Amino acid sequence: MSHDCSYTASKFTSYLRALEHYNMHRSHTCGELRLSDKDKTVTLSGWVQRSRDKGGMLWIDLRDRYGITQLFFEEGKTDALIIEEARKLGREFVIKATGKVLERYAKNDNLPTGEIEIAVEKLEILNGSKTPPFTIEDASDGGDDLRMQWRYLDLRRNPLKANLMLRHRIGIETRKYLDSLAFMEVETPYLIKSTPEGARDFVVPSRMNPGQFYALPQSPQTFKQILMVAGYDRYYQIVRCFRDEDLRADRQPEFTQIDCEMAFVEQEDILNTFEGLVRHLFKTVKGIDITSVPRMTYDEAMRLYGNDKPDVRFDMQFQDLGNSMKGKGFAIFDSAESVLGIVAPGCASYTRKQIDELTEWVKRPQIGAKGLVYCLCNEDGTFKSSVDKFYTQEDWKNIAQTSGAKAGDLVLILSGDTNSTRKQLSELRLLMGTKLGLRNPEEFKPLWVVDFPLVEWNEDEKRWFAMHHPFTAPKPEHFGLLETSPGDARANAYDFVLNGVEIGGGSIRIHDRNIQSQMFNLLGFSPEEAQKQFGFLLNAFEYGAPPHGGIAFGFDRLCALFGGAESIRDFIAFPKNNSGRDVMIDAPGTIDQKQLDELSIGLNIK
Tell me which residue of 13, 58, 3, 65 sits closest to 34, measured CA to CA. 13
112 binds ligand ASP (CB under 6 A): no
Tell whether residue 221 is a contact of ligand ASP (CB under 6 A): yes
Residue 422: its H or E element:
helix 418-435
Q: Of the ranges 129-137, 146-154, 484-492, 505-513, which one interacts with ligand ASP (CB under 6 A)? A: 505-513
Query: What angle, rounded to 10 degrees, do the helices at 513-522 and 527-540 form?
Result: 150
Task: Tell the smallest beta-carbon distance from residue 82 to ligand ASP (Å).
Answer: 58
CB of 554 to ligand ASP, least distance (A): 9
Closer Cβ to ligand ASP, 277 or 551, answer by number: 551
Tell which one of 31, 142, 446, 505 touches ligand ASP (CB under 6 A).
505
Query: How many Å apart are CA 474 and CA 493, to the nearest integer?
Result: 8
Only one of the segments 85-93, 426-434, 503-511, 584-592 lies at the binding site for ligand ASP (rule: CB under 6 A); that segment is 503-511
- Residues 6 or more apart in contact with residue 13 via CB below 8 angstroms: 28, 29, 32
267 binds ligand ASP (CB under 6 A): no
Is 470 an interacting residue with respect to ligand ASP (CB under 6 A)?
no
Q: How far is the CB of 551 from ligand ASP (least distance, A)?
A: 5
Nearer to ligand ASP, 321 or 551 (CB): 551
Rounded Cα distance, 56 and 74, in Å: 6
What are the residues whose beta carbons fall under 8 Å from the beta carbon of 19, sequence distance 6 or more?
none
436 burial level (CB within 10 Å; 0-12, 13-18, 19+) = middle
Instruction: Between 255 and 374, name the residue whose CB sits nearer to ligand ASP.
Output: 255
Q: Is 253 in the site for ligand ASP (CB under 6 A)?
A: no
Kindly identify the residues of this chain, within the stretch 532-551, that bind ligand ASP according to CB under 6 A.
Answer: 550-551
* Complex with ligand ASP: residue 259 or 395, whichever CB lies closer: 259
Distance CA 264, CA 21 (A): 53
Inter-residue contact 311 to 200 (CB < 8 Å)? no
CA dist 169 and 173 (Å) reads 6
Return the bridge partners of 71, or none. Answer: 60, 118
Task: Name the residue among 24, 67, 44, 68 with its Cα closest to residue 119.
Answer: 44
CB of 394 to ligand ASP, least distance (A): 51
> Least separation, in Å, of the C-beta of 193 and ligand ASP?
16
Q: How far is the CB of 507 from ligand ASP (least distance, A)?
A: 5
554 makes contact with ligand ASP (CB under 6 A): no
433 binds ligand ASP (CB under 6 A): no
Determine if 563 is a binding residue for ligand ASP (CB under 6 A).
no
Q: In 284-360, which ranges are E strands?
A: 295-297, 319-320, 338-344
In angstroms, what is the minimal distance from the CB of 474 to ligand ASP? 15
Spell out, one character per residue from 178 to 207, where the chain touches ligand ASP: x when CB under 6 A holds, - when not: ------------------------------
**Is the Cβ of residue 73 or residue 555 nearer to ligand ASP in the bound state?**
555
CB of 171 to ligand ASP, least distance (A): 18
Contact window for ligand ASP (CB under 6 A) among 203-211, 396-404, 504-512, 568-576: 504-512
The binding track of 352-391 with respect to ligand ASP, each residue x by CB under 6 A or -, is ----------------------------------------
Q: Is the peptide bond before 547 cis (omega within 30 degrees of 0)?
A: no
**CA 456 to each of CA 142, 247, 527: distance values in angstroms, whole numbers, following the listed order:** 45, 23, 21
Q: Which of 507, 516, 517, 533 binds ligand ASP (CB under 6 A)?
A: 507
* 506 contacts ligand ASP (rule: CB under 6 A): yes
Residue 113 interacting with ligand ASP (CB under 6 A):
no
219 binds ligand ASP (CB under 6 A): yes
Cβ proximity to ligand ASP: between 219 and 424 the closer is 219
Q: How far is the CB of 510 from ligand ASP (least distance, A)?
A: 12
Residue 80 burial (C-beta neighbours within 10 Å; 0-12, 13-18, 19+): exposed
Q: For Cα atoms 446, 502, 203, give the angle at the middle one, nearest 5 degrees.
A: 155
453 is a site residue for ligand ASP (CB under 6 A): no
HSE of 586, CA atoms in CB hemisphere, 13 A:
3
Tell me which of 321, 552, 558, 561 binds ligand ASP, using CB under 6 A.
552
Name the helix (H) or strand (E) containing 507.
strand 501-508
Which residue number, 178 or 552, has a Cβ lying nearer to ligand ASP?
552
We find the least distance from the C-beta atom of residue 221 to ligand ASP, in angstroms, to be: 4
Distance in angstroms (rounded) separating the CA atoms of residues 286 and 276:
15
Q: How far is the CB of 468 from ligand ASP (least distance, A)?
A: 6
Terminal-to-terminal C-alpha distance of the chain: 53
Taken in order 468, 272, 170, 142, the sign of the CA dihedral is positive
Q: Which is nearer to ligand ASP, 336 or 450 (CB)?
A: 450
Mark 42-69 as b/e (b = at least 16 C-beta within 10 Å): bbbbbbbbbbeeeeeebbbbbbbbbbbb
Stretch near ligand ASP under the rule CB under 6 A, chosen from 99-107, 346-354, 377-385, 499-507: 499-507
Closest separation between CB of residue 297 and ligand ASP, Å?
18
Is residue 557 within 8 A of residue 168, CB to CB? The reply is: no
For ligand ASP, which is the closer residue by CB, 255 or 383?
255
Q: Could you say whether residue 403 binds ligand ASP (CB under 6 A)? A: no
Can residue 99 be called a binding residue for ligand ASP (CB under 6 A)?
A: no
CB count within 10 Å of CB 478 equals 18
Minimal distance, residue 585 CB to ligand ASP, in Å: 27
Total chain residues near ligand ASP (CB under 6 A): 8
User: Residues near 562 by Cβ (< 8 Å), separated by ≥ 6?
Assistant: 3, 166, 170, 281, 285, 286
One-letter amino acid identity for 336? Answer: A
Cβ neighbours, 10 Å, residue 584 = 16
Query: What's the one-letter identity of residue 161?
Result: K
User: Please, which residue, 271 or 362, has the CB nearer to ligand ASP?
Assistant: 271
From CA 495, how far away is CA 452, in angstroms rounded? Answer: 9
Nearer to ligand ASP by Cβ, of 159 and 276: the residue is 276
Residues that bind ligand ASP (CB under 6 A): 219, 221, 505-507, 550-552
